[in-house]
Structures are given as C-alpha cells and as structure tokens.
C-alpha cells in the first residue's frame, strides 16, 4: 500500500472542509492544498483587470497569465500569492465570494487550475480540498471524502468566519448567497460539485471538527 496517499476532500461552501483538511494535513504531516483559493485568486485578478464575467475567453486568459502559488507556513497556515503578491486576506472578501462561481464555471480556467493541482499532488502526501477533487483532479486518490452540513449550519459557520474578519452580513443573506453558490457549482457542466461514486459522504452538521478529523485520519492510517 502507498505510504503517502493523496486525500481528496470535497463539499459545498461552509461545510467545514478547510478547517478539517488543514487539521488532517497537520496530523499526518501532509501538504494542505486549498483549491478554492486558486479560483479565488484568479477571480481577484479578473476583478482588478475589469474583466467582464460573461467574457469566457477573457477569463481563460486571466487564468493562463496568473501565477498562483500556495505557500505552506511552518504553523500549518497557507499563504496565497497572486503574481507574487500576498493576497491571502483579500481573496476571502464577500466581493470575491460573490463572483468566484462565475470564474469557476469557465472550462479554460478549470483546465489550467486542474493541471496545476495535479502537478502539486504528483508525489503523494497531499490533502486537497475543493469541489471536483475526487471526481476530476485526483480520481485515483486513495481516500475520498465528501463533507456536507445543513445550509443553516453552513451559513452560521461562514458568518462566524467573516465577522471575525470584520465583515457584517445578515444570516438570511449569507444563506441565500451560499445556496446560490451551491446551485452554480452543482449545475455547471465541467467538474460540478458532486460526490465521486467511491467517496465517503460525511454529514458533519452534528459532528465536531475533531470527530471528523479523527474519522479521516483513521482511514489514512489504516491503509499504511
């Protein structure tokens, strides 16, 4: 059995994927890769360049020219660089969240980012989170998890994260935005948000982060 398998974690916005994936990576000494951050970085570049989000070719060009680097810190944190500039905080703004599904539906953008993600996982030992990791990016990942939670719980979690950063949004507004993002992510033609047939689906509405992390690390250690 491979000693450093890849772990794919997919799921909708606010399902707790990032927190869980980061902790699993920390416990196993694996590399954590947040693919949503890459779509966000491309979206930021498109907004800065004043690109029309209906212009698919222009969005593809933005993705082709964007240099997106994910730099892991010694404390498990992840820095996101866009064209060598640190945009870690900026890509979390509500403005980016509202536009990112429009970038993520563009085939040329997905093709480019999927290639980069596959290159990052080539050596094994990564915990990669996103929407299409188990289905498209790493179809051979040994462990595939699809994390879900109720939309009420997901919007509550996202609100908490945002208010810690100083953004104030009403809960109903957050839930509406999350459901709209799910709809766009789940209905696009390429790499839609959907569990791989061989993914384990975990509903974490009533589970603690530690419980979910424990479930996943057990799976990884069992295969060693």
Per rule CB under 6 A, is residue 45 in the interface with ligand DC?
A: no
Report the C-alpha gap between 92 and 84 in whole angstroms: 18
Nearer to ligand DC, 3 or 122 (CB): 122
Interacting residue with ligand DC among 7, 8, 9, 13 (CB under 6 A): 13
Among the residue ranges 31-39, 52-60, 64-72, 165-173, the one whose residues contact ligand DC (CB under 6 A): 31-39
Distances (CA, A) of 154 to 15, 26, 72, 129: 6, 23, 26, 16
| 127, burial (CB in 10 Å: exposed 0-12, middle 13-18, buried 19+) | buried
Instruction: Give the contact letters, 144-173, x = binds to ligand DC (CB under 6 A), - = no.
Output: ------------------------------
Six-digit token pair at 44? 């930021």
Interacting residue with ligand DC among 144, 148, 181, 202 (CB under 6 A): 181
Interacting residue with ligand DC among 4, 27, 36, 162 (CB under 6 A): 36
**Cα Rg of the chain (Å, integer):** 17
Per rule CB under 6 A, is residue 132 in the interface with ligand DC?
A: yes
Angle between helices 35-48 and 56-65 (to 10 degrees): 110
Nearer to ligand DC, 58 or 78 (CB): 78
DSSP state of 12: -
Asked if residue 128 lies in contact with residue 6, where contact means CB atoms within 8 angstroms, the answer is yes
Per rule CB under 6 A, is residue 175 in the interface with ligand DC?
A: no
Q: How many residues bind ligand DC (CB under 6 A)?
A: 14
Among the residue ranges 33-41, 56-64, 72-80, 196-204, the one whose residues contact ligand DC (CB under 6 A): 33-41
Per rule CB under 6 A, is residue 195 in the interface with ligand DC?
A: no
| 71, burial (CB in 10 Å: exposed 0-12, middle 13-18, buried 19+) | exposed
Per rule CB under 6 A, is residue 131 in the interface with ligand DC?
A: yes
Report the interface residues with ligand DC, using CB under 6 A. Answer: 13, 35-36, 39-40, 100-101, 104, 130-133, 181, 185
């Amino acid at each position: 059995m491979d000693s450093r398998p890849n772990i794919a974690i997919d799921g909708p916005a606010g399902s707790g994927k990032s927190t869980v994936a980061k902790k699993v990576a920390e416990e196993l000494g694996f590399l954590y890769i947040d693919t949503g951050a890459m779509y966000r970085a491309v979206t930021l570049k498109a907004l800065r360049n004043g690109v029309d989000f209906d212009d698919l070719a222009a969005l593809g060009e933005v993705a082709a020219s964007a240099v997106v680097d994910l730099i892991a810190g010694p404390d498990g944190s992840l820095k996101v660089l866009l064209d060598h500039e640190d945009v870690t905080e900026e890509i979390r703004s509500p403005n980016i969240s509202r536009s990112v599904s429009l970038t993520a539906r563009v085939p040329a953008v997905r093709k480019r980012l999927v290639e980069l993600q596959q290159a990052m996982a080539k050596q094994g030992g990564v915990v990669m989170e996103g929407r299409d990791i188990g289905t498209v990016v790493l179809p051979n990942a040994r462990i595939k998890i699809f994390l879900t939670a109720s939309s009420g719980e997901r919007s509550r979690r996202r609100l908490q994260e945002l208010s810690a950063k100083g953004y104030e949004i009403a809960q109903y507004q957050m839930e509406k935005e999350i459901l709209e993002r799910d709809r766009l992510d789940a209905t696009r033609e390429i790499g839609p948000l959907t569990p791989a047939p061989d993914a384990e689906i975990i509903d974490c509405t009533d589970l603690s982060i530690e419980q979910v992390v424990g479930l996943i690390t057990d799976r990884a250690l069992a295969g060693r």
